[in-house]
Each structure stands twice: as C-alpha cells, then as structure tokens.
Amino acid sequence: MEYNGGTIIGETLARHGVKHLFTLCGGHISPILIGAQDQGITIVDVRDEASAVFAADAVARMTGIPGVAAVTAGPGVTNTLTAIKNAQMAESPLILFGGAAATVLKGRGSLQDIDQLSMLEPITKWRTTVKTVKSLGPVVDKAFEIAKSGVPGPVFIEVPVDVLYHEELVRDWFMKESGADKAKGLGGKALKLYLQAHLYRQFHQPHLEVDLPSPDLESVLPGRDKLSAITEALRTAERPALVVGSQTLVNLSDPQPVVNAIQSLGIPVWLGGMARGMLGRFSDIQFRHARTKALKECDLAIVCGFPFDFRLGYGQKINRKATVISANLDPEALKKNRRPTFPVQKHPGEFLVTLAEAMGNFDRGRWDPWFGTLRGRESKREDEIVGKAARTVPDGLVDPLAFFLRMEQKMADDAIIVVDGGDFAATAAYTLRPRGPLRWLDPGVFGTLGVGGGFALGAKMVRPESEVWLVWGDGSSGYSLAEFDTYVRHGVAPIAVIGNDASWQQIARDQVTILGSDCGTVLRRTNYHLVAEGYGGKGLVLDDPAKIDEILDEAKALAASGVPVCINMMVAKSDFREGSLSM
C-alpha cells in the first residue's frame, strides 16, 4: 500500500504510545485502520460505535495514555455522542477520529455528509477537520496534547475521505466522478484545472497552524503560605475526612506515589469512582460506609478530584463549620455549590503527594477516638449487609447480596471490576472490594448505561492476564451484550454477571411507591445466557443459592481457558437500596 494519510495517522499514534485502536469499520476510515495496523497497533472492531469509545475510555483511565477510536461518517459519529459526553464528564482523555465526505463535496449532499463539528463542539475539548495531508501529523500531535492538558477530556478529529487515501487514487476518483476526465470545451478544462489545483493544495500544501489552540495552562501547587495554613489545619484537626474521586487518577500511568501519599497522611478516607481500590482490598484507614454522616461531623474535609455535586449533597452534606480543602483541575468545579476554605487548582494526586511530604511525621493519636467511631459504624453496616444476605428468598431466585459476598471471596487478586447498571450494579459497590488501583471501572457522574461491553473489552486489552468481571443489570446488558461477539473474535474472556430481576428496578422501586404504577419498568426474565452462547460465549444459569460457589468456580475456569462467560442470575427483589433515587 502506498504512503497515505492513514499511514501518517498510524505512525503518529504509535509515536504517542497507542497500543489499541477501537473501531467499527467504514469506507471513510479504512486507511486509518490499515495505517495503524501496519505500525503494530491492535485494531479491535466492535459491534456498536459507542462501545468503541467506551473501550477507548477504559484504556485511557487504566493507562494514562489517551484512548483512540475511529468511526465512519454520519451515523457512525452520531452513535458515539453519549459515549463522548460520558468521557467528557468523567474527564477521560481520548481521541475520536470521524470519517467525512471528500473535501470538495462537503455540503453538496454526499453520502453521510452532515455537520459533525457542531454536534461535537459542546461535548469535546477541541474539534477540528483536517483538509490537507501535511496537517494530519501536527493535528494529531496537538490533539494528544489538548486531551491530556488541564482538565483532561475527549478530542474529535474529522478526517475527510480524500485526505486519507493515496494521491493517485484520489486524483482518479475526482476526475471520474466529476466527469472532468472526459469533459470538453472551456468549461470542462476549467473544472479540470480547478480540481488539479485543489488536489495539489490538499496533498502538498505545507501545514499552517490556524486552528490549533494552545493547551490549557498548567495549574500550580499552593504557595508556601497556603500550604503551611493547610498543614496547620490538618495537624490541629480532631475529626478529619478525606474524599478521593476519579480525577485523582487521570493521566496517571503509575498511581503508586499517590497511594503512598494517602497512606502516609493516615486520614480516614472514602474512595469514589475510579479511585476505588487505590488502597487495595483492605486498609485500616479506608471506609466504605456512612460517608455522609462522617462529613456532617468532621471538622476538616479534604476533597480531591471530587466536585461538590449531588454525590456530596452539593457540598451541603459537609459540616458548615468544617475547614474544607478542595483540590481539582477544574477551577469551576473547585467552587461550585460550596466555596472551600482552601481551593487548590492542581492535579489532586500531585496535591496529595505534596501535602504528605509537607506533613512529614506527626502525632496522629488525637484522631484515635474519631477512628473508633468510624470503625464502629463500618462494622455495624457490614454486619447489616451480611444479615440481609441471609434472608430467605423464593425458590428459583438468588439474593444479590448473598451472591456478591461470595463473588467477593472468589475474585482473583488481579481482578478488575466493571459495573454497568442501576440497582444491581450499585449493590455490587457496597459489597465488592477492588483489589488495587485502576481496577474499578464505572460510568462516572453521568450515570450512563451501556458502558459495560466496551469497558470490559478495553480492560481486557490493557491487562489480558487479569480476571475481568462485568456486573450488568438486566436492563443495561441490552445495550452491549452483542460485544460477546467481539470478545470471541478477539480472544478475550471477561466474566459477565447479569442480575436478572425482570425490571428496571432502580426506577421501579420509587416510581411504584411515589406514583403507584410500574409503567415502563417491566422486563422479562430473558435467556441472556443463550444470547451470549449465540455469539460464541458460554452461558450459565444461576437460580439456586446453593449453587453460587459452583457457578462461580465454573465461570472462572472457563474464562481462564479463554472462553467469555455470561452468568444469567435470577435475582430476588430486594429493599436493600430503598429510597436511593438521585436528583
């Protein structure tokens, strides 16, 4: 194959350390796929464009290198919009290549020719179209810089089809499609000259930086005076609390320095989103329950990479008299809803490392009574969960808590957990303990259903040796169950667990209570295991609590042998999360 635009993109991606490109094929983008493959990049083709972006998102979260996806023009691009918005809100750096009509045909009714940039503008950090071949490399370089700088996020690059294929072929297309190769007379000659000039500019014009913004300015750590005031406040606090969110891990290939900093600080800590698992399965300073009550009682709160949104009661769930320290890359998120005593615009992970170094060794004994109170509450809540899991359920059904407590014991030490759903997935969050940093993947603040198929794929690509568990609600599984076909074709084997309660239960519970109707929330106890088998995986049915261990062991063995598994678990109704409707 001759050197072309796809080759340039492939070479540039390889130079940035990209190992995987996720896609759903289309004629508009074929040279990108071939060019990347020629550079040793693994091309992973999925069954839905959204899954390609979700998989790229997972790669970005787990590696610190922007994930990359490529989709064809028109509906290929529009199918990614929810996934791109999810990445934006989760602050995941990724690059989306979108095909487009030939430069000379834009706006003239070409196949799948729509205004893609306008749609992507509000949900990306930057979006651009490339009109000349020599601009491809610099544009992709700038895209990586922008995606990672400041508050990370997605970037969209529209690549017209004629910028990707080699020059002689494009020249032949233009002349034949326009009829210029056979045109006679003055008008025909003018058309031919116009197209020749257009093609010369397209393939030979030097790159001009006219649509390449500078990346976000890097934020700075707090000055000596502010840092001194923060350390003094922490040293004198009696009831400190640390809340760590997903942004603490963005752009990090090695989270260990941040982990060490949290352990060195020794503050009671609650981990949310991607930060789950940072301290391993067990830690004497980590708490999973009663966060709201602790924040209402604390006299100092450090909030890192976690905005004051609905999850923190818009900042109002933190004691009004407490000293509040907030570290965030986003200056708006720093102060929205609750103005902290000490706002720090900096990567929250770097801030924690700096704070730990500044604190050094000091007597933490004054926190012992506070730790005692928190551990008492933690133990009480754990006992309540175990008690609820022991309830009697109807024949043919399994209690979700009882299942997750056993899954927690059975998961491998290298397990990665992907959650995609409402009620069932949230129940998992109360019971499953991620084994280490970057081993928990959830949608993030957007609460998007449908991430599971792509997230599990991306996780398996990054860590093929790890055991990947995909926790699906029966509703959310419908969005990406077809990716079992992708798993089989690409030789990856996650273990999917579908909580089949024949309901959109998170909605139904409150809707029925408040409005008296289950309208629109009723599903069937569908044979999802047979669907997975139809795609080439292995399906297992779990409808007997006595067989939980047996099914889990079988699923683990199958996955270890390279077979993707779908456990279709018949779930009993539960009131465990009653009153959990979020606003």
Model confidence at 440: pLDDT above 60: yes
| pLDDT confidence band for 361 (50 / 70 / 90) | confident
Residue 372 has pLDDT above 90, yes or no: yes
* pLDDT > 60? residue 218: no
Mean pLDDT of the chain: 91
Average pLDDT over residues 390-397: 91
In eight-state DSSP terms, residue 28 is: T
If pLDDT is split at 50, 70 and 90, which confidence band does 202 have? confident
| Cα separation, 202 vs 189, whole angstroms | 20
Q: Of 103-117, 122-136, 507-521, which range is least confident?
A: 103-117
State residue 106's pLDDT score: 63
Are residues 506 and 497 in contact, defined by beta-carbon separation less than 8 angstroms?
A: no
Q: How crowded is residue 517: how many other Cβ atoms within 10 Å of its Cβ?
A: 10
pLDDT score of 213 = 61
Q: Are strands 538-542 and 20-24 parallel, antiparallel or unpaired?
A: unpaired
Nearest one of 524, 520, 416, 525 to 466, comparing CA atoms? 416
**Lookup: tokens for 277:** 């698992």
Residue 174: pLDDT above 90?
no
**CB contact burial 281-319 (16+ within 10 A = b; e otherwise):** beeebbbebbbeebbbbbbbbbbbbbbbeebbeebebbb
Which of 133-147, 186-200, 403-417, 564-578 is predicted with the least confidence, judged by mean pLDDT? 186-200
Could you tell me the domains of the chain?
5-204 (3.40.50.970), 224-373 (3.40.50.1220), 390-570 (3.40.50.970)
- Mean local confidence (pLDDT), 37-53: 97
Q: Report pLDDT digits (tens) over 283-314.
A: 999 999 999 999 999 999 999 999 999 889 99
Tell me what the mean pLDDT of segment 410-429 comes to.
Answer: 94
Q: Tell me if 82 sits within 8 A of 50, measured CB to CB.
A: yes
Residues 112-123 as b or e (16 or more Cβ within 10 Å = b): bbbebbebbeeb
Mean predicted confidence (pLDDT) in 80-104 = 93
Given a cut of 90, whether residue 169 has pLDDT beyond it is no
Determine the distance from the C-alpha atom of residue 286 to the mean position of all C-alpha atoms in its chain, rounded to a whole number: 24
Q: Could you tell me which residue, 222 or 210, shows the higher pLDDT?
A: 222
Residues 473-530 pLDDT 10s: 999 999 999 999 999 999 999 999 999 999 999 888 888 989 999 999 999 999 999 9
Strands 20-24 and 42-45: what pairing?
Answer: parallel
> pLDDT confidence of 110, banded at 50, 70, 90?
low
Q: What percent of the chain shows pLDDT beyond 70?
A: 89
Euclidean distance between CA atoms 556 and 533, whole angstroms: 17
| Lookup result for tokens 């091309």 | 43
- Planar angle of CA 439, 445, 449, nearest 5 degrees: 80
Residue 91 pLDDT greater than 80, yes or no: yes
Identify the band that residue 182 occupies on the pLDDT scale cut at 50, 70 and 90: low
Does 183 have pLDDT greater than 70?
Answer: no
* Residue 191 or 135, more confident: 135
Q: Print burial letters for 361-400: b (CB count within 10 Å at least 16), e (below 16).
A: eeeeeebeebbebbeeebeeeeeebeeebeeebeeebbbb
Assess whether pLDDT exceeds 90 at residue 407. yes
User: 426 with 449: CB under 8 angstroms?
Assistant: no
